[in-house]
Amino acid sequence: MSSAVMIVAAAVSVPFIAILLHKARKHRKPYRKKVISIFTRFPSPGVTKTRLIPCLGEEGASYAQRRMTEHILERMKKYCRHHDDTDIAVWYNGSTEDNMRYWLIPKSGGDNFMYFFQQPSGGLGEKLREAALSGFRGNREYVVIIGSDIPGLEPGVMEEAFDALGGGTEMVLGQAEDGGYFLVGFSKAAVHKIGAVFDGIDWGTEKVFQQQCAKAKELDINLKILNTKLSDVDTEEDLSVLEGALQIHRQSLTDRKWSVIVPTMNEEENIIRTLQTVCQNCSSEARIQEIIVCDGGSKDNTVQKVKDFSQRVSVPVKVTHSQPGRGFQLKHGVEGATGDFLLFLHSDTHLPSNFDVAAESCLKRPGNVGGSFAWSVDTDRSDGWFFNLEMRILKYFTNRRIQNHELPFGDNAMFTTRHVYDQIGGFQEVYLLEDVLLVEGLWKVGHIGIAEGEPVITSARRWRKWGLFRITGLNRLILFAHYLGVSTETLALWYYGDKLRVVMAANKKNA
């Protein structure tokens, strides 16, 4: 090879290698000298928080455990995002790592500082010992262990604990109100004493904190007691701590009801049948807190028909008004909702039997922050064999999208909890893709499940009028453009055309 060729090759390869090295450094995991180990249990009814079962029931106690774990983990994540030298180790019991990951790592991807470990067999002392020693095996300098049932624990407490350990303290303890402790931490200087520090403790008694302090003194460990004193949640007397920290009422743990929100615009032909399916197909009308019909300015008899219907049923039916556009209408409708569960129903979609039971069961799976139903469409023989074939194909691929990609659309009757809805900011005030934007918000905090059982049934009127290829093709184009970053306002103008320009102008005039 000639010298000229070698020089050219070097000139080309050196910048290329430099770019690769830069990218490797950029994506290289930073050295983390601290770890927060969180002890928790998979929230299975009947085996989780058993001392709360007498007052909350098995499902309520399990839900309390789920909410407390999610609450404390989010606070510790907040700490780690401001301290890139800290990992989180989740020490779990009662399930598999796959289930734990589904529960605590959202679909859109989790943080790269979280790890999962099965709690070892044995008593609490053995578990704490293994968690502490395991942290130092990763060449870390400080390990802090906490429980998941301390809803009052703030990131500032972790600051205090790690500052103490970094300042020369070998061990820190956070005293609990019941005589135990909610936090224990060590510096690497104490690693050779951890093997004996948990011996001889009467776990589960009021003596735990004093015995642990005495043990540290016996082993000549430099101990600091944190200034903060907190309560864990184990019994009915502790529920006020949970209610205050999580802003949740006890009734929301045991008797949660549904608000069904239906946006309408000139739907006099469909709305009554849709509302009837809500009332007739729920397991009990007592489970429905309310039906909220949010109208976007119908010019037909939609609103009056809804008002007349409300006089004939025992379920509360409310009519609200907002500017047109499903995003605007749904957001406005939710603002007046009081249920713990929220179900968003299109006015031409009918719910299946016992929809409330199926939807709640879907949301009970740890990790599911939202859900939808399987989907079908109301065709019959009069539509012709080719149209029926098209609809069967559409149904197949729609349900595959929901099942495999966690991507339901509005006509799949999406649902979530009020807690999660508020957490992600709810619906955006847009004219199009309000359902996709909500899904993307849900992906950031968890997963979207699919309710078992019968599907919802949506009117085939759009496909009868415009055809499968035009409707489905336009939907795919809109979705693709959204992922490329085209604004929802531009996409809405593509979809609705000039009639939307008139609506938008009127909305701006009335604003």
Q: What is residue 112's predicted lDDT score, i.e. its pLDDT? A: 83
Could you count the other beta carbons within 10 Å of the beta carbon of residue 383?
Answer: 17
Q: What is residue 309's predicted lDDT score, i.e. its pLDDT? A: 97
Whole-angstrom distance, CA of residue 362 vs CA of residue 406 = 13
What's the one-letter identity of residue 230?
L
The answer to whether the CB of 180 falls within 8 A of the CB of 209 is yes
**Distances in whole angstroms, Cα of residue 176 to Cα of each of 16, 158, 231, 311, 494:** 57, 15, 5, 54, 60
**Distances in whole angstroms, Cα of residue 258 to Cα of each of 100, 132, 255, 360, 412:** 27, 44, 10, 9, 17
Judge residue 46's burial from the number of C-beta atoms within 10 Å of its C-beta, 0-12 exposed, 13-18 middle, 19 or more buried: exposed
Please name which of 145, 149, 147, 153 lies closest in space to residue 65, comparing C-alpha atoms: 149
Whole-angstrom distance, CA of residue 142 vs CA of residue 86 = 9
Tokens linked to 216:
């540290």
Please name which of 449, 448, 471, 450 lies closest in space to residue 460, comparing C-alpha atoms: 471
Q: What is the pTM of this model?
A: 0.90
Please name which of 367, 286, 377, 294 lies closest in space to residue 337, comparing C-alpha atoms: 294
Bridge partners for 117 per DSSP = 91
The stretches of 271-384 forming alpha helices (DSSP H) are 271-281, 302-310, 326-335, 355-364
Could you count the other beta carbons within 10 Å of the beta carbon of residue 382?
Answer: 7
b (16+ CB within 10 A) / e for 107-144: beeeeebbebeebeeeeeeebbbbbbebbbeeebbbbb
Q: What is residue 243's predicted lDDT score, i.e. its pLDDT? A: 93
Whole-angstrom distance, CA of residue 428 vs CA of residue 17 = 45
**Distances in whole angstroms, Cα of residue 319 to Cα of each of 104, 154, 260, 302:** 38, 42, 12, 10
Backbone angles phi, psi at 253, to 5 degrees: -90, -20
Judge residue 171's burial from the number of C-beta atoms within 10 Å of its C-beta, 0-12 exposed, 13-18 middle, 19 or more buried: buried
Under DSSP, the state recorded for 318 is E
pLDDT digits (tens, 9 = 90+) for 282-295: 999 999 999 999 99
Please name which of 147, 141, 133 lies closest in space to residue 168, comparing C-alpha atoms: 141
**Ranges under pLDDT 50 in the chain:** 1, 4-12, 14-28
The stretches of 47-88 forming alpha helices (DSSP H) are 53-82
Tokens linked to 119:
């709690």
**Distances in whole angstroms, Cα of residue 485 to Cα of each of 13, 27, 209, 493:** 34, 25, 56, 15
